[in-house]
Amino acid sequence: DAGITQSPRHKVTETGTPVTLRCHQTENHRYMYWYRQDPGHGLRLIHYSYGVKDTDKGEVSDGYSVSRSKTEDFLLTLESATSSQTSVYFCAIKDPNTEAFFGQGTRLTVV
Amino acid sequence: DQQVKQNSPSLSVQEGRISILNCDYTNSMFDYFLWYKKYPAEGPTFLISISSIKDKNEDGRFTVFLNKSAKHLSLHIVPSQPGDSAVYFCAARGIQGAQKLVFGQGTRLTINP
C-alpha cells in the first residue's frame, strides 16, 4: 500500500468553526489532491498541489483552502464549516508515471 | 457539467456471470482512463487503466474497452466473484493540468451467490 495517511479519520464539528484535515505521504510523490465523495456525485476535486507551495483550485473549491509547505503534507482547511461540507474527504497522491493512490478517507460531519 | 458519467447507480449480477460497467465522457481531450474500486470505509484503489491510443486492455478477470468515437468505455469482469461487490468509479485524465482525474458518480456492483 502507498504510504498515505489522513487525519483525523472522523470528526464532528459545529457550523461556523474552522476545521483542518491533514494528508501525509511517505512516497515523495509530486502531486497531491483533495477530493470529496458525496452520494450521486462520485469523487469531486476540491484542490490539488503540483509541488511545494504550488496549489490550484478544483471543481468544488468554494469554502476550502489548502497549503503545502512540505512535500509530504497537504492540508485542507474549511475556514467556517457549513452543513453542506458534511462529506467524506479523500486525499490522493500521484507521480507522473503512476496511478493515483488514495488515503482511507476522513468522515466529516458538520452539525 | 458532468464530464464523466456513470448512468447506472447500481448493478446486480449472479456469481460466475459477466459484470459489465459502463462509463461515458464528454471531453475529447481526455487521454487516459482508469477504473477504481471502493469498499466501504476504505479509499478507492486502482483497478485497471487504458490509454486513448488503445481500444482494449486486459488484466486477469478484468478487461476495459474504449470506444473513442462513442466516447464510451466499459469494464468487464469475468467471472464475477462475491469479492467484486464494491463501488466502481470510472475516471479520466486530461492532457492539460496537473494530471487531474475527473471521476464519474460510481456504480455499486453486487454479486449474488
pLDDT, one tens digit per residue, over A45-99 is: 999 999 999 999 999 999 999 999 999 999 999 999 999 999 999 999 998 877 8
- For an interface test with B, the pick among A43, A59, A90 (most B C-beta atoms closer than 10 Å) comes out as A43
Which grid cell sits at B109?
Answer: 456492483
For A59, name the nearest residue in chain B, comparing CA atoms only.
B102
Confidence check: pLDDT of B2 > 90: no
SS3 at position A83: helix
Which grid cell sits at A55?
Answer: 496549489
Give the pLDDT score at A96: 81
Rg (CA), chain A: 13
Taking the Cβ of residue A101 and every Cβ of chain B, the question of whether any pair is shorter than 8 Å is answered with yes
Can you say how many angstroms the Cα of residue A79 is from the centroid of all Cα atoms in its chain? 14
Q: How confident is the model at residue A40 (pLDDT cuts 50, 70, 90)?
A: confident
Q: pLDDT tens for residues B14-43?
A: 999 999 999 999 988 898 999 999 999 999
Letter for the amino acid at A109? T
Give the pLDDT score at B51: 93
Cross-strand partners of A34:
A47, A91
Taking the Cβ of residue A96 and every Cβ of chain B, the question of whether any pair is shorter than 8 Å is answered with yes
Alpha carbon distance, N-terminus to C-terminus of chain A:
34
A36 exposed, middle or buried (CB, 10 Å; 0-12, 13-18, 19+)? buried
Give the pLDDT score at B58: 98
CB–CB of B83/B16 below 8 Å? no
Interchain CB distance below 8 Å, B103 and A44: yes
Chain A residues closer than 8 Å to B34 by CB: 99-100
Return the residue matching grid coordinates 468505455: B73
Give the pLDDT score at B96: 64
CA–CA separation, A50 and A54 (whole Å) = 6
Other Cβ atoms closer than 10 A to B3: 16
Mark out the alpha helices in chain A (DSSP H runs): none
Cβ pairs A/B, distance under 8 A: 53
A47 exposed, middle or buried (CB, 10 Å; 0-12, 13-18, 19+)? buried
CB–CB of B105/B24 below 8 Å? no
Which grid cell sits at B34?
Answer: 482508469
B49 exposed, middle or buried (CB, 10 Å; 0-12, 13-18, 19+)? middle
Give the pLDDT score at A1: 54
Give the pLDDT score at A95: 86
CA dist list (Å): A70 to A1, A14, B51, B108 = 22, 29, 32, 37
